Structure 1
């Protein structure tokens, strides 16, 4: 029988960086579950190069609990690892490897629970969901949720095992990532007024983003850190040579919004500013000038009521009522949006996630096992 460590070693051994396929890992989990007589439902992307997995233990005709994790990991390119990133290394009570904290450690704990799930007389179902492309905008789980949304009986709780050091998290911000392409008119820099400098007009738009961000600080929610919606420009490119007025400039920006605020409002405000204040001046010089906005990714925030059944359940399972929030995003808001109450609680810390020599401690995995055992006791007859 596979141990938790064996399972984690296998999971880490699959390079499931978001740019790669996750099908080998999914096939491993499918075959592992089939060995216990549990069928898996796979929901593929359009290219059938990636898949979500959904499996159910116990009676499917009543509400139950979802144990959810994502299979993709962030790249290791350029990071100074001192251990092989796609091999499990144990040292001083820590298990190193890409994804150990975020979040294959949790998945290993869930899979290690499978024999107990199979043998337990369950009064309500326990579901396992595994998704793809979470790290690039929570993309994969959406197709799975379209399937689950049509089911007549929805789960009463989803536990997303992102690394929170097993502290129950009831909220996080939503995110909108956008790209802005500014097209102007090139000319010799000696005749700069005859051209339309795309970099300078892009800079004007970026400046307006900064002003919008400053205004957003006026609405605060002390449960979050930082306690307001944030806006930032993360990438910019443009220009060919110093003596050419640049015809094109591109920048990417993101909005991380409090759950009570819609990040699209920021994008709409910037679009209005571009169309009303910036573009007319550009087109007065060249009618071919244009400003185009493209959404790169988006996911909703999460805020689960402390008085809800979901909060009571995760408090009982985790042994803590010290509910918190996290700065990073999860698939939680998407589950919640289709009527599945969601919390975030898993082993490890995001302080180790996305970094070289990522690790999760054995102690954290032990505590996760305890949480899952308490969950199992609650769904037995």
Structure 2
């Protein structure tokens, strides 16, 4: 068993699937693997046809209940200069904490889960499945959960019964996470007036006005942090947060910058309507900054564009998937993630979602990404057990 799972894991890590790049070679590998097992496989391509999500149906078609095993195929881009090994190779070694395991891009987030799932499905006696088992592997989760929406819409279009539960294999140390925050991304564009930098009064410096916008964002962020909620779930960060993530503007040091773009992200709590924060932020910027900007130069402007939105997730206590996973991993504590997963989208299709997977989130998005041997093999036992409980 150990050699086979490591062989699969080595294969999927060796195939690059960096977010925003094509993942079709990895899709082909997984499709060919599952075709040998007789699954009902569907590929859902993006509009450029250079990447795809994969959905595989196993078991009965129109039976209530069942399970989705959900994971994403993409990884963050590696900074090769900071890796001690080849990011696209599965290399055995010892972590700084002294654990024996493997290094490789995506080994933690989340190609180990893909490999574990493929191995577990091969071990199944599909004829004995009493409820549906669906594998859903998506693209571009790392840049806004782009692939999962079309995958779920496709499943719904087939008029098939969507399983009522999902296990999302993000790294949680095999703890049961019942909730996570949402995340919304927006772009604020400040349009000024260009001019020679020696004649500053004849132009409108977009970067200077963008700084005023950022000040408004920061003030609003402080207010949001004061509104504490869900302390039992989000023990360290029981509040909404605003983050000014990127700023870009100007073309040369002797030109008054005409444009400046600000990238902003904010994290919401379960039950929030993300549009409420968006509209309030927009109102404050328009009232405190744009009105003054128009007095200086009526043609100048501040534009808002909502780029991406993933809702928060909160699975009610007592769901079938929660009960079974808690028993399988013997974890009865309350856990929630301050980050976002595809569960925020899957749950809005009426599916009870739990985040539970091998490895630690501390090792994700890091150079020399690592997963211990113990976590790899223990995760297989957990996936087998939850399939047994939910689908047989």
User: Normalised by the shorter chain, which TM-score bucket?
Assistant: over 0.9
Q: 1:273-284 alignment to 2 at 5 Å?
A: 273-284=284-295
Q: 1: CA distance between counterparts of 2:135 and 2:252?
A: 54
Q: 1:161-310 alignment to 2 at 5 Å?
A: 161-220=169-228, 221-222=230-231, 223-224=233-234, 225-310=236-321
Is residue 2:117 matched to residue 1:110? yes
SS at match of 2:207: helix
Match of 2:20 in 1: 19
Match of 2:347 in 1: 336
Structure 2's unaligned 5+ residue stretches are: 95-99
How far the C-alpha of 1:19 sits from its partner, in A, is 2.4
Q: 2: CA distance between counterparts of 1:73 and 1:52?
A: 14
Residue-by-residue CA offset, 1:141-184 (whole Å, 9 max, x unaligned) = 11011122343522121000000010010111000111111011
Change (3 A) 1:264 1:379: closer
Q: 2: CA distance between counterparts of 1:339 and 1:54?
A: 18
Change (3 A) 1:217 1:294: same
How far the C-alpha of 1:242 sits from its partner, in A, is 4.2
Instruction: Provide TM-score, normalisation by structure 2.
Output: 0.92
Match of 1:82 in 2: 84
Instruction: Provide TM-score, normalisation by structure 1.
Output: 0.95
Match of 2:97 in 1: none
Q: 1: CA distance between counterparts of 2:334 and 2:35?
A: 36
Match of 2:68 in 1: 66
SS at match of 1:102: coil
Is residue 2:106 matched to residue 1:99? yes
Match of 1:374 in 2: 385
Structure 1's unaligned 5+ residue stretches are: none
Count of residue pairs brought into register by the alignment: 381
SS at match of 1:373: helix
Q: 2: CA distance between counterparts of 1:127 and 1:358?
A: 28
How far the C-alpha of 1:31 sits from its partner, in A, is 0.8
How far the C-alpha of 1:117 sits from its partner, in A, is 1.9
Q: 1: CA distance between counterparts of 2:353 and 2:26?
A: 25
Change (3 A) 1:19 1:154: closer
Q: 1: CA distance between counterparts of 2:391 and 2:292?
A: 68
Q: 1:121-200 alignment to 2 at 5 Å?
A: 121-150=128-157, 151-200=159-208
SS at match of 2:179: strand
How far the C-alpha of 1:379 sits from its partner, in A, is 4.2
Q: 2: CA distance between counterparts of 1:211 and 1:285?
A: 24
Match of 1:54 in 2: 55
